[in-house]
Structure 1
Amino acid sequence: MGAFTNAAGCLTGGANNEKPNPSDAPLTTLFGPDSTVIPAETLRAQDAAEREERVPLARQATAVEKEMSTWTCVRAFWPAVLQAIILSCACIMEGFDLVLITGFLTNPVFRRRFQCPDMSLDEKVCEIPASWQSAIVIGPTVGQIAGVLLSGWLVEKFGYKRTFMASLVALSGFIFIVFFASSLTMFLVGLLLCGLPWGVFQTLTTNYASDVCPTPIRAYVTAWSNVCWIIGQCLGAVTQRALVSNKTMLSIQIPLGLQWVFPLPIFIFSLWAQESPWWLVRKGRTDEARKVLTKLVSQSRAPEGYSIDGQLAMIQLTNADELRETNGTGTGYLDCFRGVNRRRTEISTFTWVIQNASGSALMQWSPYFFQRAGMSPDQSWNFVIVQYVLGLVGTVISWCLLSRFGRRTIELWGLGLLTLVLATCGIIASVGLNPEIVGWLSGSLLLLYTLVYGCSIGPVTYALVSELSSTRTKSKTINIARMGYNAFGVFNCIVTPYQLNPTALNWGMKTAWFWVVFCVVCFVYAFFRIPEPRGRTYAEMDWLFAEGISARKFASTVVPRFGDERKGGEGASSPVEGWEKKGAGGVGDGEAGGLPRTGSLGSSNAPRVATVESVDGDGAEEHPGEEAEGKKRRFWFWGRK
């Protein structure tokens, strides 16, 4: 039975205790449940009986969540943080293997085994053709696209936990094909199959972390996926560096065999991990969701006012509101392109595409690039190791930046600085300096590029995509976004070898000019389209997108919360002005005067985020006029009138 049927059953259960008719359930396909439109009257009737009880609980839960400091949140929700962090370690395997793939292309033992087995290592070993180089790197990327597509259906049908564990088992089996490959074709097939579980890990870990962690720490925990990816790359580089002088098959077999080290301990831990409470609510399994919520928080360290019932009510109301806002549509892939979800899907997709469209291919191909620039194998792998260490340092710096600046601000500054670094690389490669000097300067600039990337668009992208999508279609939206990322990755895999390969275009570091153009385009898009989700709950993001608020005004827009409403004053051009003119009623405690309390990530340096926690209900039916000047607007968070 489809996810939509279960979600609707959850809403109707409290009203009339009637179970949905199985014959009326939408069929579940690869693209999710079929979208059956439900009349608005039916939707309102479904949760009317429980809404009156849930709204106060949800309002209190939201106020508590937004008032928590980052450290308080970590101490209280350490079980959720720990589970999200360890499950995200699956991304280490992807980063590790991607470095192995590009590193093998520079390994003379690998080239001799699969391309020219009759040649001696004492001779100059032949190059693997650029077409095969592209195929070897594209293979796992294509597998990842298929894995991401399948994960959306698998997660919605079986849940995060079972899908994750099955993917670990599948990966352990597929590694055998790569390990015992005797030809490039067999090696490519093994990489293609390994890409399937890698694709699942790419999005499932981010989705899971954003589901189980509260707003104050969501950005930090989702960004941890980027850290795991860099850790895997760093381990892969260290392994390759340690074996760079080994001229036996062990230089290939040891790195490939190390892939079996990761799945088993992660699988054992995943047995203890909890299912996503948001997924359980969508399935109508409310009692299980309540039990899971109790295991995701340390009750002895929970902040004052926190309650499991309040947290559950907030999840239920957010789910119900999104169901109503989309007029009862389902949770399939096609629903990501309907109504307000279309904008959310577009922004999420291009946000992730920006990672691949900003020149990051040069980092992935750095071993090959450094050696083509004239460095010895030892020097090139030393640079690669430093590169990934700088990536880790950059991610740690990004956590400090996230506590002081918004995601949008970090994204824009990062793109601007990356454009400057790439332009400098292009200038150095174009002025005709000594090739050896160009090699060292370009290597140093690539390290600087890695540091800037690690401070900005690398980790911030994970925070953005996890907060921009609606909770009902989050899994599918992030999957679509990642497929866009991987699709552009295929483009990178085709273009980059030809740009760097001496038997093809042989651009060398002049390739940087190619990516400068893309960086400028990405900056313009980010400025006009990517909003600021910092400090916003999922419910507040739903309202901002439903109202069609401009991306540049997300941070300053006043958002009513949990059934509260407010009318702007005479001539008010914004909800904030309405508050000022009317002498706003109490915020939370009913005291008069002042703007609504602001939300933040818990830092005293956080920018003010306009929200409305509680507004008087007096005059709820007043001023229904629609004058153009001095227009009175009515805001209903849980279903607008």
Structure 2
Amino acid sequence: MHNQVPEKPASEEQVESVDHDNSSEDLSGRARLAQAYAANDATLSFWQTIKLYHRSILWTLYGQLVVFGYGIDGVIAAFLLGIPRFRQDFGEAFVVDGVPAYIISANWIAIFSGVSQLTAILGAVMTGYLADRLGRKITNAIFCAISIAAVGAQVAARGSLPILCVGKGLNGFSIGAWLVIGPLYASEIAPLKLRGWLTAVTNTIQFSGVLLFTGVIYVMGPMDSADAYQIPFMLQWIIPSFVLLTIYFWPESPVYLVNTAKRDKAIQSLQALHGSNSRIDQEGILAQIEETLDHEKSASTANATASYAECFNRHNRSRTLISMWIYACQYLGGLVFVLGYQSYYYQLIGFGAKKSFFLTMLNNSFQFIANILSWFLISALGRRPLIVWGELCGTICLFIIGGCSLIGTNPGYLATVSFMFVWAFTYQLTLGTVAWTVVAEIPSLRLRAKTQGLANLTLCFFQWAVAFVFPYMFNPDAGNLGGKVGFVFGATSLLGFLGVFWFLPETKNRTADQLDKLYAREVPARKFHKTVLSDD
């Protein structure tokens, strides 16, 4: 993790000054080394930082690759429901508006949609523990191997919903793990000026999985053969197989190595991450890591070994809870409907399979563009404004979607689809991307793995809960709400807006040590961006 000294805001925004513990005269040699590195790094521009740290950036992106699988897993259940041959091979006959068709029952949809999210909860918690005990590298390899076997079970299911659900459930362990490993590694390796971008890439990579899967479904979905769903299943093998074959070369996180008293290996890791570039002060980077970890350990009343209980003590409780809430907001905001079930919904309101898949691909393409645009907005506007006002815009869109669905005519349905596009673009521009950055930045360096594990536990729990309940609200053989679920998600999204408005801090340009001091002084979340940190 590379920390820099942020520029001071304008004087009219100076609310309070948080003093450093020591004057420059009292700094230890290690602290002076860390401070000198930060001061030098602060002089670099965004593009100079990319040029200087290009090697570690590539390793960071490699660590994020596994999130690709989460993108596919998150939509695979709903997308498969839009494939007529899948419904025929795995489902049962059902008459929809007097027309014979095949559907998967709401009970099986609930299980198939939610089982991987349920096991992902366990995977996220296990990863928070294993990543601190075995390291990021070994933990990643273990869950890649599990995923390869789990996808094999899905491919072998061939009409058996129980086997299909078992395979998806096993893969959920890996999905939960990858949501921790990718952003965790990025937050520990990325230079400060690139931290927002490199953690936001988490969403870009997982959405790339969605986009690729959408394209494959568009081509394969209308086919009247088992290949229509078997080939999409096999896509899930690509990334874990590649990572498992190449992970030997991935440098271990120096933060993990320092935290487990493996200083010599941390030096080797830094050399692997940065090469022999003499412009990168690797001793300064190491000094920063050691200084921050020692400060956090000395400030903690808990044992030297970080624990989940410590995440909820008075020093860390608010940081943990807001991290968990940010991830909960993603599924409280209607993601499962607008992103996951859109192809199925388009068919239910009268579009053919081919046109439904085309609309889905078009919507997802717009979302991908929004995702890329958010990289620049994160640096320009900060994290808090994007999430807070993005939540409010999303809430308004959802109520409009619900209202248009009440009309029950073609113009009403077209308006519903239009605002589904607007909601999706807004979501990927704001909360969908920025949440990954915020949750990677808010936790203390020492508790980062476990806090992110708890946040991902929350994400997977809400993903499972919503995926489990949604079919009973939405499916024609159950609640049959259709687009009127916009009212339900509009209400829950409003709760999300209120939570982030009051409790989400601005973390832009704040180092881990500076956030520690702001939280120690109990600075209100809404004043983080106005609080000036004095120089040593």
Q: TM-score, normalised by structure 1?
A: 0.76
Tell me the amino acid that sits aligned with residue 321 of structure 2. E
Larger Rg: 1
Q: Kindly indicate whether the alpha-carbon contact (under 8 Å) linking 2:93 and 2:100 is maintained by their aligned counterparts in 1.
A: no
Cα distance in 2 for partners of 1:339, 1:63 equals: 32
| 1:543 matches 2:517 | yes
Moved more, 522-531 or 239-248: 239-248
In the TM superposition, 1:282-361 aligns within 5 A as 282-297=259-274, 300=277, 302=279, 306-329=280-303, 330-361=305-336
Cα distance in 1 for partners of 2:357, 2:469 equals: 23
**Distance change (3 Å), C-alpha of 1:174 and 1:104:** same
Tell me the amino acid that sits aligned with residue 186 of structure 1. I
Number of the residue aligned with 2:178: 201
| 1:512 matches 2:481 | no
Tell me the amino acid that sits aligned with residue 361 of structure 2. I
Q: Which segments of 5 or more consecutive residues in structure 2 lack a partner in the other structure?
A: 1-20
Number of the residue aligned with 1:613: 535
Cα distance in 1 for partners of 2:27, 2:365 equals: 51
Number of the residue aligned with 1:495: 469
How far off its partner does 1:371 sit? 1.4
**Distance change (3 Å), C-alpha of 1:118 and 1:552:** closer
Q: Kindly indicate whether the alpha-carbon contact (under 8 Å) linking 1:145 and 1:199 is maintained by their aligned counterparts in 2.
A: yes
Aligned mate of 2:223, from 226, 239, 246:
246
Aligned mate of 1:390, from 366, 386, 389:
366
**Distance change (3 Å), C-alpha of 1:403 and 1:298:** farther
How far off its partner does 1:612 sit? 2.1
Number of the residue aligned with 1:597: none
CA deviations on 1:404-455 (whole Å, 9 max, x unpaired) are 111001111211211221122122223x251x22332222211111111111
Moved more, 98-107 or 307-316: 98-107
Q: Secondary structure in 1 aligned to 2:185?
A: helix
Q: Kindly indicate whether the alpha-carbon contact (under 8 Å) linking 1:215 and 1:537 is maintained by their aligned counterparts in 2.
A: yes
Q: Kindly indicate whether the alpha-carbon contact (under 8 Å) linking 2:221 and 2:229 is maintained by their aligned counterparts in 1.
A: no
Number of the residue aligned with 1:427: 403
**Distance change (3 Å), C-alpha of 1:263 and 1:117:** farther
Moved more, 499-508 or 471-480: 499-508
Cα distance in 2 for partners of 1:328, 1:525 equals: 29
Q: Kindly indicate whether the alpha-carbon contact (under 8 Å) linking 1:281 and 1:315 is maintained by their aligned counterparts in 2.
A: yes
Q: Secondary structure in 2 aligned to 1:336?
A: helix
**Distance change (3 Å), C-alpha of 1:116 and 1:110:** same
Aligned mate of 1:77, from 37, 50, 53:
53
Cα distance in 1 for partners of 2:150, 2:408 equals: 47
Cα distance in 1 for partners of 2:44, 2:320 equals: 29
Number of the residue aligned with 1:191: 168
Q: Kindly indicate whether the alpha-carbon contact (under 8 Å) linking 2:116 and 2:464 is maintained by their aligned counterparts in 1.
A: no
Number of the residue aligned with 1:569: none
Number of the residue aligned with 1:599: none
Aligned residues: 506
| 1:220 matches 2:188 | no
How far off its partner does 1:61 sit? 2.1
Q: Secondary structure in 1 aligned to 2:366?
A: helix
How far off its partner does 1:287 sit? 1.6
Tell me the amino acid that sits aligned with residue 242 of structure 2. P
Aligned mate of 2:211, from 217, 234, 238:
234
Number of the residue aligned with 1:573: none
Q: Kindly indicate whether the alpha-carbon contact (under 8 Å) linking 1:386 and 1:447 is maintained by their aligned counterparts in 2.
A: no
Aligned mate of 1:369, from 339, 345, 350:
345
Aligned mate of 2:375, from 378, 386, 399:
399
Q: Secondary structure in 2 aligned to 1:472?
A: coil
Q: Kindly indicate whether the alpha-carbon contact (under 8 Å) linking 1:390 and 1:454 is maintained by their aligned counterparts in 2.
A: no
Cα distance in 2 for partners of 1:433, 1:157 equals: 56
Cα distance in 2 for partners of 1:479, 1:368 equals: 32
Cα distance in 1 for partners of 2:102, 2:43 equals: 62
- Larger RCO, structure (CA 8 Å, separation 6 or more): 2
Q: Kindly indicate whether the alpha-carbon contact (under 8 Å) linking 1:374 and 1:439 is maintained by their aligned counterparts in 2.
A: no
Tell me the amino acid that sits aligned with residue 612 of structure 1. S
Number of the residue aligned with 2:424: 450
Q: Kindly indicate whether the alpha-carbon contact (under 8 Å) linking 1:112 and 1:118 is maintained by their aligned counterparts in 2.
A: no
In terms of fraction of residues, the more helix-rich structure is: 2
Q: Kindly indicate whether the alpha-carbon contact (under 8 Å) linking 1:369 and 1:500 is maintained by their aligned counterparts in 2.
A: no
Number of the residue aligned with 1:466: 440
How far off its partner does 1:261 sit? 2.5
Number of the residue aligned with 1:552: 526
| 1:156 matches 2:132 | yes
Number of the residue aligned with 2:505: 531
Tell me the amino acid that sits aligned with residue 327 of structure 1. T
How far off its partner does 1:543 sit? 0.7
Q: Kindly indicate whether the alpha-carbon contact (under 8 Å) linking 1:398 and 1:454 is maintained by their aligned counterparts in 2.
A: yes
Cα distance in 1 for partners of 2:474, 2:272 equals: 51
Tell me the amino acid that sits aligned with residue 439 of structure 1. Y
Number of the residue aligned with 1:584: none
CA deviations on 1:246-294 (whole Å, 9 max, x unpaired) are 1111112221123222223233342221111110110111122122223
How far off its partner does 1:132 sit? 1.0
Q: Kindly indicate whether the alpha-carbon contact (under 8 Å) linking 2:37 and 2:281 is maintained by their aligned counterparts in 1.
A: yes
Cα distance in 1 for partners of 2:222, 2:340 equals: 22
Tell me the amino acid that sits aligned with residue 308 of structure 2. Y
Q: Secondary structure in 2 aligned to 1:548?
A: coil
Number of the residue aligned with 1:177: 153
Tell me the amino acid that sits aligned with residue 332 of structure 1. S
Cα distance in 1 for partners of 2:41, 2:510 equals: 10
Q: Secondary structure in 2 aligned to 1:124?
A: strand
Q: Secondary structure in 1 aligned to 2:295?
A: helix
**Distance change (3 Å), C-alpha of 1:613 and 1:376:** same
Cα distance in 1 for partners of 2:404, 2:191 equals: 46
Q: Secondary structure in 1 aligned to 2:41?
A: helix
Moved more, 318-327 or 100-109: 100-109
Aligned mate of 1:479, from 453, 456, 459:
453
Number of the residue aligned with 2:8: none
How far off its partner does 1:377 sit? 0.9
Q: Kindly indicate whether the alpha-carbon contact (under 8 Å) linking 1:331 and 1:472 is maintained by their aligned counterparts in 2.
A: yes
Q: Kindly indicate whether the alpha-carbon contact (under 8 Å) linking 2:94 and 2:103 is maintained by their aligned counterparts in 1.
A: no
Q: Secondary structure in 2 aligned to 1:444?
A: helix
**Distance change (3 Å), C-alpha of 1:147 and 1:93:** same
CA deviations on 1:220-265 (whole Å, 9 max, x unpaired) are 0111110111110111111111112211111122211232222232
| 1:268 matches 2:190 | no
Q: Secondary structure in 1 aligned to 2:196?
A: helix
Cα distance in 2 for partners of 1:118, 1:421 equals: 33
Q: Kindly indicate whether the alpha-carbon contact (under 8 Å) linking 1:65 and 1:216 is maintained by their aligned counterparts in 2.
A: no
| 1:418 matches 2:394 | yes
How far off its partner does 1:99 sit? 2.7
Tell me the amino acid that sits aligned with residue 530 of structure 2. S
